[in-house]
Amino acid sequence: MRFFGVVAAVAAYFGAVSAQSDYPLCPGIVPSSYTTAKSQYPELSNAIAKVSKNQIATWWTDNNPSYYTEMQKLLNLCNETSIPTVIVYGLPNKDCSAGESNKGSNTDATTYLKFVKDLADLVGTRPVIYIMEPDAFGLHIDSPCAKTNGYLDNMMSAIPLLTNDNANASLYVDIGYWAFNTTERVQMVAEAWKQLVSKGASVRGIALDTSNYRKNDEMIDTCQKFVTSLKTSDYRCVIDTSRNYLGPKEGTAEWCNNRYAAIGIPPTNNTANDLIDYFLWLKTPGESDGTCSGGGISSDALKNGPAAGQFYEKAFSLMWDRGFYVDKKLGDKIGRYTLDVDQVNEGGKTSWVAIGVVAAVCILLVVGGVMFKRRYDAKQGRSRAANRQVDAEAAVRKPYLSL
């Protein structure tokens, strides 16, 4: 009996851990941004059709005025033996550091908890994957504004609403990879985690690389750091593979519309690693991270993009060409842009017509310049000769003839 008492105490301290479901992922809703993009950019239609066959997480966010009806539509599409993935993103004053996604109707703890309870009531007891509040936990580690706005306290109250009455819910708290960069920071994560689950919330583990670009190998190592720091083997991780196929340029950490993005491995529970429950697409490939034009944005970002959540044709084209489908010969390159996006191609090949036009213009400019210079030199020569004649005549004039 003492053994079971110890187990119960550990569960209360670390938080109860839900099991992974054996049900398949539900494809769910095709993002509305894709529907619009297929008609606006016909050359992307084949690529968009392929990625649309995969599950792309649905965001339950107060940034979207139609979030409730979209969730109803999702749950109607997914039967009770398939798993939708839902990202909860509604903290009051969210994204307090970057400010790219900080709009929304939740203004305080009361409106936020009602927002979460509405989701729990819609889902009921069906199987579901919840991803909890991207960036919030990492900002709690890094940024005073997260503490000021009560991110951790609000999540502590919200998680039980989603999981206590639904044994089929698997909840993963998003933690940014940067929170594990040093031993000291890993320890800070562990302490904050113990606080988060101190009320016995049922949490399966953490979500890594949400809306980011870090490669799977790095994220698996990060998951191991997390589990080791808590001195328990109960927790698991999911990885957002939507844009991480090749990883970012070495030594950089640009988060905003990174030009090195590449569409990654499609969503699956076949991860070949016991620590990783799923590869998921938490970010819709091709949807913008924001305008990326503010301070602190590096040259790795595609500048002056559309607002966060809007389809970004240039970004999608690049990440498709560099990604999983093209690499595995499951789709053709679009070939419209190079990595530095300063050269437009046609049909995946350089436009020789365009090159010919540019060359012809250059030749005309050179020939015109040479002819102009010759005419100018000839004119100048005649002028100098006339001046010498005047000077010679002046030299032999009498003084009175000069009056």
CATH number of the CATH domain containing 130: 3.20.20.40
Residue 337 lies in a domain: no
Residues 289 and 367 in one domain: no
Residues 39 and 76 in one domain: yes
Place of tokens 């003084």: 399
Question: What domain range includes position 212?
Answer: 2-327
* Cα–Cα distance measured from residue 353 to residue 204, given in angstroms and rounded to the nearest whole number: 57
* Cα–Cα distance measured from residue 137 to residue 154, given in angstroms and rounded to the nearest whole number: 11
Q: Going residue by residue through the chain (403 aa), what tens digit of pLDDT does each one get?
A: 333 333 333 343 345 555 566 799 999 999 999 999 999 999 999 999 999 999 999 999 999 999 999 999 999 999 999 999 999 999 998 987 766 666 788 999 999 999 999 999 999 999 999 999 999 999 999 888 888 899 999 999 999 999 999 999 999 999 999 999 999 999 999 999 999 998 877 899 999 999 999 999 999 999 999 999 999 889 999 999 999 999 999 888 899 999 999 999 999 999 999 999 999 999 999 999 999 987 888 999 998 899 988 999 999 999 999 999 999 999 999 999 999 873 445 444 444 334 444 455 445 555 555 455 555 555 555 454 444 443 433 333 333 222 2
* Cα–Cα distance measured from residue 97 to residue 346, given in angstroms and rounded to the nearest whole number: 40
Residue 333 lies in a domain: no
Residues 284 and 389 in one domain: no
Q: Give the pTM.
A: 0.80
Residue 345 lies in a domain: no
Task: Count how many domains the chain has.
Answer: 2
- Name the domain boundary from 327, 361, 384: 327
Q: Specify the pLDDT at position 201.
A: 78
Residues 251 and 286 in one domain: yes
Residues 73 and 20 in one domain: yes
Q: Specify the pLDDT at position 199.
A: 80
Q: Specify the pLDDT at position 288.
A: 96
Instruction: Give yes or no for a contact between 288 and 308, defined as CB atoms under 8 angstroms apart.
Output: yes
Instruction: Give yes or no for a contact between 140 and 102, defined as CB atoms under 8 angstroms apart.
Output: no
Q: Specify the pLDDT at position 8.
A: 37
Residues 55 and 194 in one domain: yes
Residue 341 lies in a domain: no
| Number of other residues whose CB lies within 10 A of the CB of residue 10 | 13
What sign for the dihedral angle of Cα 76, 166, 135, 260?
Answer: negative
Residue 335 lies in a domain: no
Residue 334 lies in a domain: no
Residues 158 and 287 in one domain: yes
**Which tokens sit at 139?**
């900002």
Residues 293 and 384 in one domain: no
Residues 239 and 388 in one domain: no
| Number of other residues whose CB lies within 10 A of the CB of residue 187 | 11
Q: Which of 52-72 are b and which e, b meaning 16 or more Cβ less than 10 Å from the residue's Cβ?
A: bebbbbbbbbbbbeebeebbe
Residue 155 lies in a domain: yes
Residue 344 lies in a domain: no
Residues 317 and 362 in one domain: no
Residues 197 and 52 in one domain: yes
Residues 303 and 357 in one domain: no
